[in-house]
Structure 1
Amino acid sequence: MVADGVLLAGVDGGGSGTRLRAQWQDRCVEVTGGPSGLALGVTPAWHTIMALLDSAQQALGITLPIERCQLALGLAGANQWAWRGAFLQASPALAGLRLESDAFTTLVGAHRGQPGAIVALGTGSVGEALHIDGRRVSVGGYGFPSGDEASGAWLGLRASRHAQHALDGRTPPDDFSRALCEAMSSLSSAPVSSVATLTHWLSNVSQTRFAALAPVVIEYGDHPIAQALLDQAGEDIALMYQALDQDEQLPLALCGGLAAALAPRVPETLKHRLVPAQGSSVDGALQLAAELCPS
């Protein structure tokens, strides 16, 4: 339910950036800004979100008090209860507020709020499902390096071992190992071409940098090691789906930057459940904002 004269806003926020889509009457704008993932702190998250809300109002040519803004957010870290509580406690007096994980808003956007499942495949990975009876199920999302199976960081970390083996003599160098070293070099201030330089690179690497190696794995998908990694990613996607829906009846949308590359690696027995995502996380957040009852 939406009250007359209320600005709707949906937010998709993570550790690298934030998208806010605002709707006023029949007009809609989208603005982007810095991170708002809760791992970076509640105060910075609210600062980013409120600045984007101001930018959206400027783009729409309106000036409304916060009490006339209805906001739904899908934020990374919202499933961590201490962060969630602190964020909600710091909330301004909005007309309505709903906080969800970015995985859930991705799910809502992908299936337009209808029952279904998603596996989000980006730097990290997570699975989420909404069942016909209203049950919500989540799998994964434990973070790197302990979890995030089938993600970009997961692929990059494992592929880096081929470069290690090629440089220290456990396997002959080949085009794949050289391409990995070139990709690492592009992310470093010095070429990665020896055991010493690779050791230095690995000692300073983040999950984002490991994820930057994933395109190399995909490019060399016919290489035995890359092929094994991609096939394992497909099996991990299937395992997540089976945990989300033991009956394997829900439609499954793969979302995120690696979705298109990994869809062919999903086992044949699951491919009939794959459907295209109908919308994005920010679409899902805006839909949830529209469903809020203003206080």
Structure 2
Amino acid sequence: MVSDQFMSVMPLALDPSLFTFRDSGRPARWWVGIDGGGTSTRAVVADVAGRVLGRGEAGASALNQGVDQAWRHIGEAIAQAGVPGLQLADCALGLGLSGTGVPAQRQAFVAADPGVARLALTTDGFAGLLGAHGGRPGALLISGTGSVAEALLEDGSQRMTGGWGWQIGDEGSGAWLGQQAMKLAQAAFDGRAPRGALAESVYAATGRRREDLLAFCAQAGQGGYASLARLVFENAHDPAAAALLDAAARALDELAVALHPTLPLALAGSIALRLAPRLSPALQARRVEPQGDAAAGALWLIQQRETSLA
């Protein structure tokens, strides 16, 4: 969340390579922070005095799912905020979007700009980091649909571990847990693993025939696999599910330790929060509550840019 009146300046001068800026030259009447991931898009709208006017939510805007969808859902989330008279052309957008780290996806998104007044684009992870520590040095461990760990250092630079994508990485994320649950169900189908409660829950969700399992995997994508993650938590009494949850927690531990050994660490994302009790004591000792979320961080980012242009 973000308070109805947020901080007026960013405490650190950020490395300009951490975001992409585009300026139409027109004045902006509204500042908008966008947090866009593989499942949903959240918007927070403020006036140029920094007063939050509304919030909205829409479908996914991760860039690996298509830039047209991303812009459509961003527009829908802003509209859902219910601010009278708001037009995209009058908005300065701070955007923290999944997939921004892939140059081709980032360039395609900026090229498809529907005509906003200004935009500052960064990754959803970095926007979450800005929000979590109020723009000050700190670390953020994110696990939702995907997973990544990011740190903002004293010199305004960034460090990142993980975030390699659900197809080959994102260990400890919802998509990863769902993939592991499906692997277990396939092994149980073959007789290579016991047909425990988790495997039975996967069959109930996707179908019990070999053809059903193959069909699910063929079309699942990141979101489809992430939808199975809840089954792992719901069946934590199953030793196979408990082992997956422990493995996911260890993977998140490894991301955080490799990132930075001492910075205060905030958690974000539904999976990270549910796995928090399984994290190591060393990580627990560093843990702090986030000051704000990724939408707040994106809003602060565009506020900094707008203030510097004033």
What TM-score, normalized to structure 1?
A: 0.83
For 2:57, the equivalent position in structure 1 comes to: 32
Q: Structure 1 residue 118 and structure 2 residue 140: aligned?
A: yes
Q: Structure 1 residue 220 and structure 2 residue 235: aligned?
A: yes
For 1:166, the equivalent position in structure 2 comes to: 188
- The Cα of 1:196 is off from its aligned counterpart by 4.6
- The Cα of 1:92 is off from its aligned counterpart by 6.3
Distance (whole Å) between structure 2 residues aligned to residue 182 and residue 107 of structure 1: 38
Equivalent pair of 1:118/1:253 in contact (CA under 8 Å): yes
Distance (whole Å) between structure 2 residues aligned to residue 178 and residue 92 of structure 1: 46
- The Cα of 1:201 is off from its aligned counterpart by 3.5
Q: Structure 1 residue 232 and structure 2 residue 257: aligned?
A: no
Equivalent pair of 1:180/1:216 in contact (CA under 8 Å): yes
Note the residue ranges of structure 1 that are not aligned, 5 or more in a row: 185-191
Distance (whole Å) between structure 2 residues aligned to residue 222 and residue 199 of structure 1: 27
* Letter paired with 1:18: T
Distance (whole Å) between structure 2 residues aligned to residue 129 and residue 182 of structure 1: 40
* Letter paired with 2:258: A
* Match 2:280 to one of 267, 282, 285: 267
SS at match of 2:149: strand
- The Cα of 1:174 is off from its aligned counterpart by 2.8
SS at match of 1:99: strand
Which aligned pairs between 1:37-56 and structure 2 lie closer than 5 A?
Answer: 37-50=62-75, 53=78
Q: Tell which structure's C-alpha radius of gyration is larger.
A: 1
Distance (whole Å) between structure 1 residues aligned to residue 85 and residue 249 of structure 2: 47
- The Cα of 1:60 is off from its aligned counterpart by 3.0
* Letter paired with 1:13: G
SS at match of 1:250: coil
Q: Structure 1 residue 205 and structure 2 residue 230: aligned?
A: no
Equivalent pair of 1:233/1:265 in contact (CA under 8 Å): no
Cα distance, 1:94–1:209 mapped onto 2, change above 3 Å: closer
Equivalent pair of 1:9/1:22 in contact (CA under 8 Å): yes
* Letter paired with 1:84: R
- The Cα of 1:101 is off from its aligned counterpart by 0.7
* Letter paired with 1:21: V
Note the residue ranges of structure 2 that are not aligned, 5 or more in a row: 1-7, 10-26
> Which whole-Å deviations, capped at 9, do the CAs of 1:203-244 have from their partners, x for residues lacking one?
443332222221221122243222222112111111111221
SS at match of 2:245: helix
> Which whole-Å deviations, capped at 9, do the CAs of 1:129-180 have from their partners, x for residues lacking one?
1012222011211112200100111112112233223332233433332223
Distance (whole Å) between structure 2 residues aligned to residue 204 and residue 65 of structure 1: 34
- The Cα of 1:48 is off from its aligned counterpart by 4.3
* Letter paired with 1:12: D
For 2:200, the equivalent position in structure 1 comes to: 178
Q: Structure 1 residue 284 and structure 2 residue 297: aligned?
A: yes
> Which whole-Å deviations, capped at 9, do the CAs of 1:96-129 have from their partners, x for residues lacking one?
4311111111111122212111121112111111
- The Cα of 1:93 is off from its aligned counterpart by 6.5
* Letter paired with 1:208: G
Cα distance, 1:17–1:64 mapped onto 2, change above 3 Å: closer
**Number of aligned residues:** 282
The percentage of counterpart residues that share the same residue type is 39
Which aligned pairs between 1:233-252 and structure 2 lie closer than 5 A?
Answer: 233-245=248-260, 248-252=261-265
* Letter paired with 1:271: Q
- The Cα of 1:39 is off from its aligned counterpart by 2.7
Equivalent pair of 1:69/1:95 in contact (CA under 8 Å): yes
Cα distance, 1:204–1:37 mapped onto 2, change above 3 Å: closer
Q: CA RMSD in A?
A: 2.7
What TM-score, normalized to structure 2?
A: 0.80
Q: Structure 1 residue 70 and structure 2 residue 92: aligned?
A: yes
Q: Structure 1 residue 9 and structure 2 residue 24: aligned?
A: no
Distance (whole Å) between structure 1 residues aligned to residue 75 and residue 197 of structure 2: 48
Distance (whole Å) between structure 1 residues aligned to residue 267 and residue 31 of structure 2: 27
SS at match of 2:106: helix
